Every structure is written in structure tokens, then in C-alpha cells.
Chain A
């Protein structure tokens, strides 16, 4: 059993539900959810509080990040997260984009951030693909 934890940042409740269920099928039970880039950033900013509250479940190993969100979108989140990541020493924390956009431009833009490890397209994602994508992070964690 993997004790890996993840954070899902998506404004769409159904998409969060679908991803969570697929994660759970892969044995991942510790799932934090945020409905916007803004709330996700303030959640991450309360680092010490989170560590105290969630123990070794925090920080999440993978953050699944939607692009289109109303207040702070995926790309703005990436900009802000890159500074936050250094401030809070979250180097172990990586991001997988989770979007319905298949635009090459969006993929290229996301890949410019070193900590963005993958780009998952909603609708194409199955539990099997997810397992494959998460494999490297699971072994490193075990």
C-alpha cells in the first residue's frame, strides 16, 4: 500500500470527483482538494500548520493542476508556486497538469516549469494511464 498523498486543484467539482476516484483505484487515499489556484496557494502557504495537522501525509508528492480556473488559473499558479516552492523547500513536490485543453501551446507553456512533470488530458485519462504516470513517484516514496 502506498502512503503517497496528492493535491487536486480544479474548479470543476465533477472533475475533482473523477480524478479522486481514479486515484483511489490506484490505492491513493490521501487526497487534498482545492477549487481554485488562489485557495490552493493559501493552503500551501500554511505549511507549518499543515505539517502539524496532517503529519507525514503533508506535503503532497504530486499536485494535479487544472489550467482554466476563475480566480487564479493554472499558469498563474505555476508562477506563484515556483517562488513558494523555494521558500518552503518543497523540492520533492511535483506538478502534473490536469486539463481538458489539448493545445500544444498550453503543453509547451507548462513544460517550461522544471517541476511540471506531466500533462494529463481530462477525458483521455484512465486509471491504467494514471498508474503508469504515478509509478516513478510511488517507488521513490516507498
Chain B
């Protein structure tokens, strides 16, 4: 049963108890009122008897006075009848006291008859003597009515008291027990729920128990609370995720921003350096030509050429980097062997003079399909690094280039026996403008970061192992090109 239904039952029972009690009190007091009215009836009957007695002693008949007394006598049965309701009548019929009401009616009729005698006397229809005889007769009737009326009223009142009081007590006791039971049942289900909710165990089990044991408003309360909590938790989770996304975006923007700043700084520096050098050298050339030192001037001019070459390669590097950032590229089948040959070509002279050995192994099940410019630049930079940073102390400088594939990926390994990268600086390899052997070769310091950018945009990965024995770069590029 729902808690609200239980509470409603309690309210109805209490109301019934109160109304029954009030009704009993009212009925009992009505009985007392009837007794009182009967006493008045007796009193006025006595007054009437006295007045009639005086007539016997030779007094003149005072019809007004007598009429007034009889009207007062008639007043009590009238009031009695007015106060009796249907329920009283039913009860009185049941317990056999209904004739009391007949007595009242009879009394009213007799009163009216007595008044009619007085009227007749006033109209001289009867003489004084017979009027007195009649009136004496009414004295007896009124007294008799009073005494007849007393018993059934006393019986009725005592019946009401005998039945109502036990009934009120019984209902009160019943109510006390029933209300006690109801409140125990209400508090019991609340306590049961509390102990269920605070019990150990997983959620599914708890939900099953709740479905079995909880119903009505408590179940509704649980459902609403659950929904609300679920929403709140979800909102919190969503907020947390959003916050994390914002934080991650902010961090990556900050990183990109600082990278860009660093890039702008280094680019402007590295672009400016050959220009300022050239400016200084040009001044010397002017001085030397003026002073006739033409050999010096020639040396400085060739230094300018060198500087300009450096500037050129730097600008090319920067352009490649920006190409690495953009993603407008056709995907096509690549001729890897051709790409490797092209990467060696600028160094053909060096390869010969250093007796540099290039070992190539291409084992592709199917031609590599990818973005040509990116793959070309990856190969170019890896191969040129292997050649530029060859270790002259080693007997046979060499580089092993191997390209192969499996179902998922393409693999490109470039392993040299060159100078290697100092261990404490290996974490800087893919940063921009990092040079590790400045005395050996004046590169732009951009090559590895160009490779990294290309590998990243192909969703690939690159790893490096380096020691004094040489360096190995392993590039993995997934077959599937995700946009």
C-alpha cells in the first residue's frame, strides 16, 4: 500500500472516532435536556393544579392566566419533538421507547383541548362548574403524561450511554492499534530502504533488491533521485571532458605558438647571418680592391659565394618545411629506387672520394603508394645526413638503405656507420635548427624536423638509435592513408 493511502486511512479513522465521540456526547446531552424539559412540564403542571384548586375555593376563573399556564405546559413537548431527529426515532423504535414521542404529541393535543375548554367558557358555551370539572381532569392528564414520559427517556439515555461509550472505547483502541501498525509499516519501509541503500554490493544487485522490496512513493523518490544524480554525474563528466579538451587545445596552441615563435626567431637569425657576413665580406673586397690586394678580394668573393649557397639551402629547407605543413598532395605509386638514386646524386663526387658504400635493399610486395614529395624529402634528408656526417676514421663509410612492407605498413630503414649523435643530445634530434656536428657540415639544422613533419602528416612514426658506431633511423608509414 502507498504511504499516502496509509496516511489517508489514518486520517479517516481519526475523523470517524472524533465524530462518533462528539455525536455520543451530543445525544447524551440531549437526553439530559429532555429530563430538564420534563421537570419544567411537571413544574407548570403543579402551577396549573394550584390555579385549578383555587377555583374550587370560590375564586373567579381567570381565563388569561390559565391560558398562559397551559401554553407554557404545551411548550415542553413541542420543544422535545423539535429536537428529535430520524436517527433518534430509529433508535427509539428499536429499543421500544418510541411511545415517549406519542406522549409528547398527546400532551400537545390535550393542551390544545384544555385551551378549547377555556375558549368555550369565554363564549359562555359552558358554565363555570363544568369548565372547572374539565380543567381538573386536565390537571390529572398533564401529571400523568409527565410521569409516563420520564421512563422511556431515561431508558433511551441509558441505552445510548451503554452502547456508545463501549463503541467509542472500542474504536479508539482499534485506532490506536491500527495507527500504530500503519506508522510502524511506514517507518519500517523507510528504514528498510535506508539499510538497503547503505548496504555493500554492486549496483545491479542493489537495483534488483530495490525492485523487489520497494514500491509506492519511496520507489518514485528513488527513481527521481537516481535520474537526477545520473544527470548530474553525466553533466559533470561532460564538463570534465570539455575542460580536458579545452586544456589540451590550449596546451597544443601554446606549444604551436611557442614553436612558431622559436621558428620565426631562428629563421630570421639564420637568414640574416649569411647576409650580414656577406655585407662584411663585401666591405673587405672594396677595401682590398682599393688597396690592390686582388687575391684577398678573390678569396672573400668566394666566401660570399659560399654564404650565398648556405642561404640558398636554408631558404630551400624553410620552403620544404612549409610544404611539410601543407597537405595538398597527390597519392600515387612511387618508384623508390629512383627516389634513392636522386637522393645520392648531389653527393656523387663525395661518395667516390670517400669510397662510401651505399647498400640498397628494396623488397616491396607491391609498389609503395604514398605522397611523393613527402617520401622523397624523407629519403633525401636521411641519405644526405648519412653521407654528410660520415666518420672518416672508419675504414669503410657506408649506409644501408632498406625498404620493405607488410600488410599494414611500409618500412624504411637507413643505417650508417657515421659520427652518430651525442647521447645527451639525442632528444633534440627532431627539433628545428639543431646541429650536432657544426664543424663537419654547415647544414641548416632543419633536415630532421622536416623528416619528422612529413612522417607525422603521413601518420607514421620514426625512431632513432645512435652511438659512436653509427646511427639507424627506422621509419614506419601505415598503408592506409587517413585524411
Write out the residue numbers on chain B whose beta carbons fall within 8 Å of the beta carbon of A70. 434-436, 438, 445
B255 CB, nearest partner CB in chain A, Å: 20
Question: Per-position contact with B for A106-136: 1 when CB-CB < 8 Å, else 0?
Answer: 0000000000000000110110000000000
Write out the residue numbers on chain A whose beta carbons fall within 8 Å of the beta carbon of B445. 70
Write out the residue numbers on chain A whose beta carbons fall within 8 Å of the beta carbon of B269. 68, 100-101
With an 8 Å Cβ cutoff, the count of chain A residues facing the other chain is 21
Q: A14-B307, A18-B284 are in contact. Are A123 and B435 (CB under 8 A)?
A: no
- Chain B CB count within 10 A is highest, among A68, A100, A122, for A100
Q: When the two chains form their complex, are residues A15 and B273 in contact, meaning their CB atoms are under 8 A apart?
A: yes
Q: When the two chains form their complex, are residues B438 and A122 in contact, meaning their CB atoms are under 8 A apart?
A: no
Write out the residue numbers on chain B whose beta carbons fall within 8 Å of the beta carbon of A35. 438-439
B12 CB, nearest partner CB in chain A, Å: 87
Bound complex: CA A136 to CA B369 (Å): 67
Bound complex: CA A36 to CA B425 (Å): 15
A17 CB, nearest partner CB in chain B, Å: 7
B290 CB, nearest partner CB in chain A, Å: 14
Bound complex: CA A11 to CA B425 (Å): 18
Q: Does more than half of chain A's interface fall in helix, strand or loop, or is it mixed?
A: loop
Q: A14-B303, A18-B284, A68-B269 are in contact. Are A100 and B438 (CB under 8 A)?
A: no
Interface-forming stretch among B153-161, B274-282, B467-475? B274-282
Bound complex: CA A18 to CA B272 (Å): 15
A122 CB, nearest partner CB in chain B, Å: 4
Question: Per-position contact with B for A9-30: 1 when CB-CB < 8 Å, else 0?
Answer: 0011011011001100000000
Determine the residue in chain B with the shortest Cβ distance to A11.
B438
Q: When the two chains form their complex, are residues B280 and A12 in contact, meaning their CB atoms are under 8 A apart?
A: no
Bound complex: CA A125 to CA B307 (Å): 18
Q: When the two chains form their complex, are residues A18 and B265 in contact, meaning their CB atoms are under 8 A apart?
A: no
Q: When the two chains form their complex, are residues A122 and B276 in contact, meaning their CB atoms are under 8 A apart?
A: yes
Write out the residue numbers on chain B whose beta carbons fall within 8 Å of the beta carbon of A101. 265, 269
Bound complex: CA A123 to CA B282 (Å): 11
Query: Restricting to B387-444, which residues have a CB under 8 Å from any CB of A?
Result: 425, 434-436, 438-439
Write out the residue numbers on chain B whose beta carbons fall within 8 Å of the beta carbon of A22. 280
Query: Restricting to B244-285, which residues have a CB under 8 Å from any CB of A?
Result: 265-266, 269-270, 272-273, 275-277, 279-281, 283-284
B276's contact among A11, A17, A123, by CB below 8 Å, is which?
A123
Q: When the two chains form their complex, are residues B272 and A123 in contact, meaning their CB atoms are under 8 A apart?
A: yes
A51 within 8 Å of B (CB atoms)? no
Question: Per-position contact with A for B271-307: 1 when CB-CB < 8 Å, else 0?
Answer: 0110111011101100000000000000000010011
Write out the residue numbers on chain A whose beta carbons fall within 8 Å of the beta carbon of B266. 68
Q: When the two chains form their complex, are residues A18 and B281 in contact, meaning their CB atoms are under 8 A apart?
A: yes
Q: A68-B269, A101-B269, A123-B272 are in contact. Are A12 and B435 (CB under 8 A)?
A: no
B277 CB, nearest partner CB in chain A, Å: 4
Q: When the two chains form their complex, are residues A36 and B438 in contact, meaning their CB atoms are under 8 A apart?
A: yes
A88 within 8 Å of B (CB atoms)? no
Q: A35-B439, A36-B438 are in contact. Are A12 and B277 (CB under 8 A)?
A: yes
B273's contact among A12, A17, A71, by CB below 8 Å, is which?
A12
Determine the residue in chain A with the shortest Cβ distance to B272.
A100
B417 CB, nearest partner CB in chain A, Å: 22
B303's contact among A11, A17, A122, A123, by CB below 8 Å, is which?
A17
Interface of B with A (CB < 8 Å)?
A: 265-266, 269-270, 272-273, 275-277, 279-281, 283-284, 303, 306-307, 425, 434-436, 438-439, 445
Interface of A with B (CB < 8 Å)?
A: 11-12, 14-15, 17-18, 21-22, 35-36, 68-71, 100-101, 103, 122-123, 125-126
**Smallest CB-CB A-B distances: 7 pairs:** A123-B276, A18-B280, A70-B435, A14-B277, A122-B276, A70-B438, A100-B272
A12-B277, A17-B303, A122-B277 given; 16 more Cβ-contact pairs under 8 Å: A12-B273, A14-B280, A14-B306, A18-B280, A18-B284, A21-B284, A22-B280, A35-B439, A70-B435, A100-B269, A100-B272, A101-B265, A103-B265, A122-B280, A123-B275, A125-B280
Sample of 28 A–B contacts (CB below 8 Å) = A11-B438, A14-B277, A14-B281, A14-B303, A14-B306, A14-B307, A15-B273, A15-B276, A15-B280, A18-B277, A18-B280, A18-B284, A21-B284, A68-B266, A69-B438, A70-B436, A70-B438, A70-B445, A71-B425, A71-B438, A100-B269, A100-B276, A101-B265, A122-B277, A123-B272, A123-B279, A125-B280, A126-B283
